[in-house]
Each structure stands twice: as C-alpha cells, then as structure tokens.
A = this chain, B = another copy of it.
Amino acid sequence: MPERDHSAAIGPIYLRVRDHIADQIEQGLLQPNSRLPSERVLAESNNTTRVTARLALAQLEAEGRIYRSNRRGWFVSPPRLVYNPTEDYSFSENVMAQGRTPATETLEVTPTEVTAWLASKTGLAEGDSLVRLRRRRQVDGRPVLVENIYLNARRLPGIERFDFNRSLWKLLREHYGLELVRKQIEMFPTALIDPQAEALGVTAGTAGLYVTRCSRDQDGCFVEFDEEFWLHDTLSIQVEVG
C-alpha cells in the first residue's frame, strides 16, 4: 500500500473526518466487514451535515478502505484478494488458498452470436456461434465480480450441457484436453453501471476494474473470451515475469 500522509490536521472538514475514520480503521478499532456509524451519526458527531459526512465516506470508498451495502450501511473493506490474471486458475482454489470462502452463481447460459465488437476481440467472423455464460462470484458472502464468458461453440461441442459452477479451466482441460494459452489481457479502472452494478447489488457509478482475457488453444484457435467486472476495492493484481 502507498504510504499515507499523516501530517497536518488543517484543510476541509471532510478530509479531517476522512482521516479520523481512516485512523480508527488502521488502529483496528473498526474491524474488516464491521459497520460504520450511520451517516447521520457521523454528521452529528463531527458537527457537520450529512452531505459533508458523505464526502468523507466517498473518499474512503474511493481509496478502497470502506464499501457500502445497498441501503444497509457502510462497512470496512477486508484485505484485497490477490489475483493473477495471466494464469489459468480456479477462482475457488485461489480464494480458499487465501483463507477466504468463495461462492459462484451461474446467472445465465445462452447461445449467442459473434457481434462486431466480439469479432474485433476474438478474430472470429460476425455471426459465428458462441455460448454466453454469465456468472457472479463472491468472497465471504460479498459479491466481488460478475463475468461474461463467450465460448467458441464450434471448438467446444456440447459445452452448454455442463455445470458452470465449477472451474471452467478444469472443465476445458478434462473434457476437451485443452491447455489454454492466454493470449491477450486488457484491464482498466472504470465505473460499474447497469447491468453489472445491479448484479453486484451496488449503486451505479461504483468504482470497478474491468478485465478481459482472450484465450486460444495451442493452435491459436479461439476458445474463450472472458469479461470481468470487479469491485475496485476487492482485488490486487499480482503478476510475476521474467
């Protein structure tokens, strides 16, 4: 983590409120996943208004130190999940290896076609058939990402009949003898808007990280395009190279 500037108590009210709460979190007075005082209480105890209290909370949310649960309150963010998108991996195993509890829900499995946008990403021709898979994944009961996966139906006959609440990468290996070669990974910070915000139970505009991966087999044949929408405070990307 970048080191925090612990100097000067001067400046806007909302920054002083922010630092006050941040200190309580650092000192362990507020434990991960515990609830903060309500906005009205924070406003009153800092002799200010709700608007200003919300400015302070928005700062901490942007830093990834707290998160909100729709109309239930503000909570202290637990440590970020370490994630290496360059590796074939099992979400569940990765989460458990970090002492957390994973869960996966399959929201949708639909046959679909390559759109112009997907054609540019995959190199397939527009209209080629795909299977679209939409999943939500949780860590310790909190949804942390939704993903849209587009599978090459021609390359993976019968794929739509499997149980997708397990590791897709293992399924491809065991049933199709595939070793995936991750070809292109792209990611950037952006806001989560509907329908992703809704699926995650957060307000539109919540900060997120958008990650895509385009995978091929050993022959360069397109297998899978994966589009992930993460809540921004839930992950730390870590990659080793060289």
Contacts and interface: CB of A to CB of B under 8 A. Distances in A.
Interface residues of A, number: 48
Nearest to A2: B210
Contacts of A182: 241-242
Interface in A159-201: 181-191, 193-196
B190 A2 contact: yes
A86 B117 CA distance: 26
Q: Please state the number of chain copies in the assembly.
A: 2
B191 A63 contact: yes
Contact of A80 (B58, B86, B188, B205): B188
- With a 10 A CB-CB cut-off, give which of A15, A184, A229, A242 has the most chain B CB atoms: A242
A125 interface: no
Interface in A58-73: 58-59, 62-64
A183 B3 contact: no
Contacts of A224: none
A9 interface: no
Contacts of A205: 58-59, 62-63
A80 to B, nearest CB: 6
A238 B186 contact: yes
A235 B187 CA distance: 9
Given A2-B229, A5-B194, A63-B205, 9 more contacts: A3-B117, A15-B204, A62-B206, A64-B190, A181-B241, A185-B241, A188-B235, A188-B237, A189-B189
